[in-house]
A = this chain, B = another copy of it.
Amino acid sequence: MADLETFYNLCMQKGLKITPQRIEVYKTLAACSDHPSVDAIYKRVKKVLPNISFDTVNRTLNTFNDIGAAFVVGGDNVKRFDGNLEKHHHFKCVKCRNIIDFKHNEFDNVKVPEHLGQMFKVLKTTIFVEGLCRTCLEKDNKLK
């Protein structure tokens, strides 16, 4: 994730006020290498700002998502945020629904097709692999 100064600029550009809550949520998310849920981030931020409310954390994260300072991953019950702006890709087990990051340089420079680039402002392109993880595969085999 980018540094705080970039964050300040982004906020000013979007007309968002810089508040201690936003700064702390931003720093917390930036320090995560996993895909924390809102609740997980809330608990961590609460250690620094004990009075912060769950709603504020949730609203702030959604705001970050809107302005492209964070991304939502998942597709499951719990919304998870990805503050890792370093290029990486996702594998998702369709059974246990865990999402695992992986890096693969060849995937990092995928060219978006012309017609899409004209219709949308593209912020991010990732490869999304779905299948069965080893644990779920073994469970499947045992059932037979």
Q: Taking beta carbons and an 8 Å cutoff, which residues of A are in contact with B?
A: 15, 65-66, 68, 71-77, 79-80, 90-91, 93-95, 102, 104, 106-107, 110, 112-113, 116, 119-134, 137, 143-144
Copies in the complex: 2
Q: Identify 19 new A-B residue pairs, CB closer than 8 A, beyond the known A66-B95, A127-B127.
A: A15-B143, A15-B144, A66-B94, A68-B132, A71-B130, A72-B75, A76-B79, A77-B79, A91-B120, A93-B120, A107-B110, A116-B129, A120-B133, A122-B130, A122-B131, A123-B132, A125-B129, A126-B128, A127-B128
Sorted from nearest, which 3 A-B pairs have the closest CB atoms? A75-B75, A123-B131, A122-B131
What residue in chain B is nearest A115 (Cβ atoms)?
B102
A94 → chain B, closest Cβ, in Å? 6
Asked if B128 and A128 make an inter-chain contact with CB atoms under 8 angstroms apart, the answer reads yes
* Contact call B137/A130, Cβ cutoff below 8 A: no
- Is the pair B75, A73 in contact by a Cβ cutoff of 8 Å? yes
Contact of B124 with A113 in the complex, beta carbons under 8 Å: no
Is A102 touching B113 in the complex (CB atoms < 8 A)? yes
Chain B min CB distance to A49 (Å): 25
Chain B residue nearest to A95 (CB atoms) is B66
